[in-house]
Structures are given as structure tokens and as C-alpha cells.
Amino acid sequence: MRLYDTLDRELKELRPLDGTTYRFYCCGPTVYGPAHIGNFRTFVLQDVFRRTLETGGMRTFHVRNITDVDDKTIRDSQAAGQSLTDFTGQWTAKFHADCEELGLQPPHVEPGAVEHIPQQIAMIATLVEKGNAYASEDGSVYFKIASYPEYGRLSRLDTRELELGRTQNERANSDEYEKDSLSDFVLWKGRKPEDGDNYWPSPWGEGRPGWHLECSAMIAEYLGSDFDLHGGGEDLMFPHHENEIAQSKCACGGHFAKHWFHATHLLVDGGKMAKSKNNFYTLDDLKAKGFTAMEVRYVLIGAHYHKQLNFTLDSLAGAREAMAKLAKGQRSLAAKVGGEVQLTSVDFGPFQEAWDSLNDNLNTPGCLGGLFTGLREAAKLEGVEAAKALAGFNRILRALGLTLPEEEPEAEVPAEIRAIAEERWAARTAKDWAKADVMRQQLTGLGWNMKDGKEGYELTPV
């Protein structure tokens, strides 16, 4: 598989560093409310990425964290009058339930930040020791960006921004900030009254970890200093991933992630879908409108990860139609194949192009298009070739994580009706339009509509 690398800005072939297992990390959700479908765009694309590697025969090791302590979880748990653990526990459970409905494979390891406070403190201590971090008068610890000359490579900070960051000598105590207020960023936040009960002892006094540090510590624990890929939504590139790189490389040495995979945002009405903007849809919102989780998944993979996707309810209706067509194609192929066929070789047959698209920079819309063209080709195949095509189609569906709707089997067509239809089809093929018209009326009179397609016809009760 080839994939675009945000750091080196080029397409790269993916090969596991250790020669056997592709090891990767994805920044997980901040559990202070239900995830919205923008978050799920990123998680679903990461899931298709993993499934594609696995379908291609690669082993994977997928780590995705749960951000269960940060500015927002603390603020909102207190507003809700709940302990941080109860509050984040309930939203973690909701996240898992939504993931399951959306067909996401659970990561192999899903560490939570609160469970890894000792590892975080140890990493900060190393950074202080090495001269990359310093404690401030309020009991917080900051990363000194001037101590790391490569700072800014991922998000292409220009020299002006870097100069400003070095000379201003300011500090960001909040987890999120903009490029034009570039500054030393916080690794450990000294205890403040508004944190309530949420503080831990440390060599610098009571406090809690900064968000960026949490990921670095969990990565060191489960993936070490060198691993294959790191991913998240594009908003995480700065400052979050930039800060992760600085912390991890300075503390652990090594190269950190070999490849960076960023998914472009899901928009709504042309703007970023975000919890803070209150312009978001959750999975439950869309289910309440009568759509299924699989239809949502189809929409989310319907655009290339490198392009923005503007979400509309119409696109969900389109997904329903498209999936019904795919299901119909799958059923007629399955009917032709009959029962189980033992295949001696596996290839994608008419679905080779669909498979190639997925492996070419995770081109999901190209792959979906390839499924439709492949089905038209497959309709002409018989016997083992049809069986191979069906197997190829199903493998791609698994790579996309799509489950197609099951439909009621078509109405049983009586033999005499089928005979008339066949005769009419022959007349139509012979361009005997007059006869075909008369016979269509005859069929309608007998209670059957005959709909002509390119490759065949369909009979439905009137």
C-alpha cells in the first residue's frame, strides 16, 4: 500500500519496521460527551486503513488512547457534579457502543491517560534532566521549544513564527493554542482550585499532566521510540503532534513515527464540525432521523481522506440507494454461484481495480466506484469465475468494513410469467419493439411489471 506522509509530503510505500507487524498509533477521543461524526470520519478512515493492510495479508498492532484527563473533561465533570472517573467512564462506554455500530475494529490496546500517570511523570523527569523542560514558579513544568531545533517541521512553522516563539518567551498553559501564539508548552500543570479533586503528587508538587504529554508517554509504553505510523485529524498536526514529536524525540531518542497520516476534516455547512461550535451531528442524531450506522459509514468513506467532506443529510439518502444497489448485485452474483465453491486461488477478478484504489493512497471513493463497475463485469461471468468475483467483492467489503442491507428475497415469479418475459426479452433484443410493447401490456394485465435494464430485466408485482 502507498500512503501520503504529511511529514515528508510524499506518497510512501508502507512496510513494517520490524518486518512482520505494522505498528501504529491513533490519537483517541476526548471523552467529555458523545463523539460527533466528524470525529468518526477520522476513526472510520483509520479503521479502513487497518482493514486494508490486514486484507492484504499484513499483521497490525493498533494503539488508540482515551483522553480521560484534560482541561475539558475536568471542566465538564465538575459542571455535571460527577467524579472524573464516573464522567469519563460513561462517555467512554458510549464511544465504544458507537464504534461497534459503525463497524470499527477495537484497537489492540486502548490505554487511558489516568492509568498512566507514573509513566508521564517519568517522561517529564527525563525531559527536565536533559535540559528540554523546566519547572516554573506555579509548580507547572514547560517544554522549552528552543531546546529542540527541529520543532515545527511537521506543521511547517515558518521562521517568523519560530522566531516569535523563541523571543517572546511566553508559555502556553492551556492545551490548545494557535500558531501565532507559539510558545513553550505545558507538560505538567500545577494544581489549581478549579481542578477540584483531580490532582496527583509529582516531584514538582501536586498537579496533572498536559494533554500532549499523555500521548507521548503512552506511545513510549506500547510502541517504544520507533514505530510505523501515527495518525489523527488534521487539526491535531499543530500543536498536538508537533509537541508529541518534540517530547518523544527528546525523551526517548529514536525517530518516533516513520509515517504521519492526517485525515481532513468533515465540514458542516462549509465550516468545521466541532463540539465547541455546537454544529455537530452524533450517530444518535442521525439514527433518530431514520438512517443506519452503516449508511453513515458509507458517507464517511465516500470522499477521499485528503479532501474535505461537506456533510449533508442528502448524502445519507444517496448512501442508502448506493448500498441497496451493491446488495442487489451481491445477491444476484451469489444466486448464480449457488452454494460454497472451493477456490484454489484468490484474486479480485473484476474487482481488481477497486482493490488497487484502496492500496493507492486509500482511495475509498475510487474503491466504491470500482465495486459498481466490477459488478457489471461480474454479471457476465459464470461458474468458478463468478465464484471468484463474489469472493473478491466480499473481501473488499470487509476491507471497507461495510455490511450491506439484507433485503426481502424478490417475489416468486410463476413459470408462465417468466416464459412470457423471456419471449418479450428476446423480441426486445431483436428490436421488435411492437411485439415487446404488446407483451409488456400482457404482463401488466397478468399483474407483473417488467423493467428493462442493460443486461437483463426485473419482474415486480404491480
Which positions touch Zn ion (CB under 5 A)? 27, 215
Considering only residues 236 to 255 of the shown chain, the ones binding ligand AMP according to CB under 6 A are 236
Among 14, 27, 113, 213, binds ligand AMP (CB under 6 A): 27
H or E stretch including 294? helix 293-301
Angle among Cα 135, 30, 83 to the nearest 5 degrees reads: 80
Q: Which is nearer to Zn ion, 46 or 364 (CB)?
A: 46
Q: What is the largest CA-CA distance in the chain?
A: 94
Please give the Cα distance from 429 to 413 (Å, whole number): 21
Helix axis angle for 293-301 and 313-337, nearest 10°, is 100
Residue 215 contact, options ligand AMP, Zn ion, none, Cβ 5-8 Å cut-off depending on partner type: Zn ion
Please give the Cα distance from 387 to 333 (Å, whole number): 8
Counting contacts by CB under 6 A, is residue 50 touching ligand AMP?
no
Nearest to 359 by CA among 114, 34, 56: 56
Q: Which is nearer to Zn ion, 262 or 304 (CB)?
A: 262
Residue whose Cβ sits closest to Zn ion? 215
End-to-end CA distance of the chain: 49
Counting contacts by CB under 6 A, is residue 272 touching ligand AMP?
yes
Question: Using CB under 6 A, which of the segments 36-44, 182-190, 404-412, 441-449 binds ligand AMP?
Answer: 36-44
Residue whose Cβ sits closest to ligand AMP? 233
Residue 48 contact, options ligand AMP, Zn ion, none, Cβ 5-8 Å cut-off depending on partner type: none
Q: Could you tell me if 42 and 362 are in contact, meaning their C-beta atoms sit under 8 angstroms apart? A: no
Considering only residues 207 to 236 of the shown chain, the ones binding ligand AMP according to CB under 6 A are 232-233, 235-236
Q: Which is nearer to ligand AMP, 202 or 282 (CB)?
A: 282
Considering only residues 5 to 24 of the shown chain, the ones binding ligand AMP according to CB under 6 A are none
Q: Is the peptide bond before 239 cis (omega within 30 degrees of 0)?
A: yes
Counting contacts by CB under 6 A, is residue 38 touching ligand AMP?
yes
Question: Using CB under 6 A, which of the segments 49-57, 266-274, 360-368, 375-383 binds ligand AMP?
Answer: 266-274
DSSP 253-291: -S-EEEEEEEEPPEEETTEE--GGGT---BHHHHHHTT-
Q: Which is nearer to Zn ion, 27 or 102 (CB)?
A: 27
Q: 91 is written with which cell numbers?
A: 462517555
Q: 39 is written with which cell numbers?
A: 470525529
Question: Using CB under 6 A, which of the segments 6-14, 155-163, 262-270, 288-296 binds ligand AMP?
Answer: 262-270
Residue 440 contact, options ligand AMP, Zn ion, none, Cβ 5-8 Å cut-off depending on partner type: none
Q: Which is nearer to ligand AMP, 64 or 189 (CB)?
A: 64
b/e burial code for range 34-44 (CB count within 10 A of at least 16 → b): bbbbbbbbbbb
DSSP 198-244: --B--TT-SEEE-HHHHHHHHHHHHT-SEEEEEEEEGGGIIIIIHHH
| Shortest CB 45 distance to ligand AMP, Å | 9
Among 145, 223, 273, 316, binds ligand AMP (CB under 6 A): 273
Question: Using CB under 6 A, which of the segments 114-122, 259-267, 426-434, 435-443 binds ligand AMP?
Answer: 259-267
Counting contacts by CB under 6 A, is residue 306 touching ligand AMP?
no
Q: 57 is written with which cell numbers?
A: 495479508
Residues that bind ligand AMP (CB under 6 A): 27, 29-30, 38-39, 41-42, 67, 232-233, 235-236, 263, 265-266, 272-274
